[in-house]
């Protein structure tokens, strides 16, 4: 079921090239259509949003009332509510421990410098409809924003006939302030520019289809976004001590997301690679998304047999996966060698779905190799900082000559003058 490759410096690189190609694919027609929607909403506001919503979703946008969220909670299985509350508590605890604080100190030159930390004013969360309506994503996006002190969280979701009760309950649990039934590129445009009762936001987070992803990418710069997410991916580094059925199950947990999802095993054991291949076949037969899984594993899955764990770590850093599991005899010993990954799971009892739902760290992670320079969503994603400078005459005076020298070297005489006038005639300008 899975292609087994012996690493020889060439075969594994061909596999990596295929993974990169899948992530790099783009649709020019989608981008052209989305660009037109964004421009229309920017110019025509609510009327354009209403028109696109009726065209694509069959009804105009509307805002839900707090009572709608209460009813959604009541309609959910109490076990689901308890699980979501547990998840929210763990996400909250994790992000509270990461929360940056305002700090000031006395500089070597005698002035006061520092950094003021503020939460963003308003954040939008996009939640897909249909089968991709995941309440866990609501928690993962909204709870860190709440911890950051974001003043208003606005969730948007397509106005389907029956909105997901689990998604609405998650919004209630996470502390979402407003829920608006609007979807697609028009929702992104409305949150980017403001349209009628849909407010402009400072940042937009959350997954979506190709049109939503394209809209977020084009809107970036007018607002901030979390990232442009690519297909899901998991990479497992395992040695001969790993349990094949565990490894196979974890590979399948990502392959079921999407035909473009990537599930790769790096192992030092050919015997394990073959055993995992057999387990993939056996376990897939009992799963609900067999067609998607088989396409994903066939096209973008691989078991690469490496000469040693050091080579496996090198390949992992080159791939920079969204999820990286280290299932070896001593997994923590390999952690210092890992430079690029969205999230790292150590040991056989730390499977990737633990991170997706309940561990606390966010499951919104960089994909398609962008873990080389992007980080997971967290409370930091919803903060902005302002630097603070406070000097008095005594602390500025010794620096005046050097500031004037630097400013005049750059031809910025008004900068130099701003300093010089303060010390004319040896006294402050009142």
Show the tokens assigned to 35. 């660009």
Beta strands 323-327; 302-305: pairing state:
unpaired
Select which of 233, 279, 322, 352 is catalytic.
Answer: 322
Show the tokens assigned to 282. 């056996």
Q: Is 31 a catalytic residue?
A: no
Angle at CA of residue 223, ends 218 and 229, nearest 5°? 55
Task: Pick the closest to residue 246 from 350, 365, 363 (CA basis).
Answer: 350
Select which of 12, 323, 352, 363 is catalytic.
Answer: 323
Question: Could you say which DSSP state residue 35 is in?
Answer: H
Q: Is 323 a catalytic residue?
A: yes
Distance set, CA 425 to CA 137, 417, 420, 429 (Å)? 64, 14, 10, 9
> Measured between alpha carbons, how far is 219 from 188 in angstroms, rounded to an integer?
8
> Measured between alpha carbons, how far is 123 from 151 in angstroms, rounded to an integer?
8
Beta-sheet strand order (sheet of 224-225) = 62-63, 178-181, 152-157, 122-126, 203-205, 224-225
On whether the CB atoms of residues 22 and 263 are closer than 8 A, the answer is no
> Measured between alpha carbons, how far is 179 from 153 in angstroms, rounded to an integer?
9
> Directed axis angle between helix 11-24 and helix 309-319, to 10°?
20
The SS3 call for residue 422 is helix
> Measured between alpha carbons, how far is 198 from 191 in angstroms, rounded to an integer?
7
Residues carrying an active site annotation: 322-323
């Amino acid at each position: 079921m899975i292609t087994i490759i012996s690493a020889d410096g060439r075969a594994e690189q061909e596999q990596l090239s295929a993974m990169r190609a899948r992530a790099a694919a783009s649709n020019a027609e989608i981008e052209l259509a989305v660009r037109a929607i964004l421009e229309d909403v920017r110019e025509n506001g609510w009327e354009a949003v209403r028109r696109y919503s009726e065209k694509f979703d069959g009804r105009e946008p509307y805002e839900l009332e707090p009572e709608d969220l209460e009813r959604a909670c009541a309609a959910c299985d109490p076990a689901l509510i308890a699980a979501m509350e547990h998840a929210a508590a763990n996400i909250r605890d994790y992000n509270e421990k990461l929360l940056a604080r305002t700090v000031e100190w006395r500089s070597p030159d005698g002035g006061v410098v520092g950094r003021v930390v503020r939460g963003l004013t308003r954040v939008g969360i996009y939640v897909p409809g249909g089968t991709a309506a995941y309440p866990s994503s609501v928690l993962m996006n909204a709870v860190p924003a709440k911890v950051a002190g974001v003043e208003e969280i606005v969730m948007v979701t397509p106005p389907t006939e029956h909105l997901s009760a689990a998604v609405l309950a998650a919004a209630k649990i996470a502390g979402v302030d407003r829920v608006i039934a609007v979807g697609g590129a028009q929702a992104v445009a409305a949150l980017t520019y403001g349209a009628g009762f849909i407010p402009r936001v400072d940042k937009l987070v959350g997954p979506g289809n190709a049109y939503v992803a394209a809209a977020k990418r084009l809107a970036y710069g007018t607002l901030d976004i979390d990232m442009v997410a690519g297909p899901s991916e998991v990479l497992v580094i395992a040695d001969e001590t790993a349990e094949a059925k565990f490894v196979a199950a974890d590979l399948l947990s990502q392959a079921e997301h999407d035909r473009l999802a990537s599930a790769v095993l790096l192992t030092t054991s050919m015997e394990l690679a073959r055993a995992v291949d057999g387990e993939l076949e056996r376990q897939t037969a009992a799963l609900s998304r067999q067609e998607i899984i088989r396409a994903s594993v066939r096209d973008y899955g691989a078991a690469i047999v490496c000469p040693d764990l050091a080579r496996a770590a090198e390949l992992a850093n080159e791939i920079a996966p969204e999820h990286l599991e280290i299932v070896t005899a001593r997994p923590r010993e390999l952690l210092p060698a890992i430079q690029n990954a969205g999230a790292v799971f150590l040991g056989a009892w730390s499977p990737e779905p633990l991170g997706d739902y309940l561990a606390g760290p966010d499951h919104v992670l960089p994909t398609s190799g962008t873990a080389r320079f992007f980080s997971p969503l967290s409370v930091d994603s919803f903060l902005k900082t302002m630097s603070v400078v406070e000097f008095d005459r005594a602390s500025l005076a010794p620096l005046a000559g050097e500031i004037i020298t630097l400013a005049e070297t750059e031809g910025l005489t008004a900068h130099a003058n701003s300093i010089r006038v303060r010390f004319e005639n040896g006294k402050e300008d009142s």
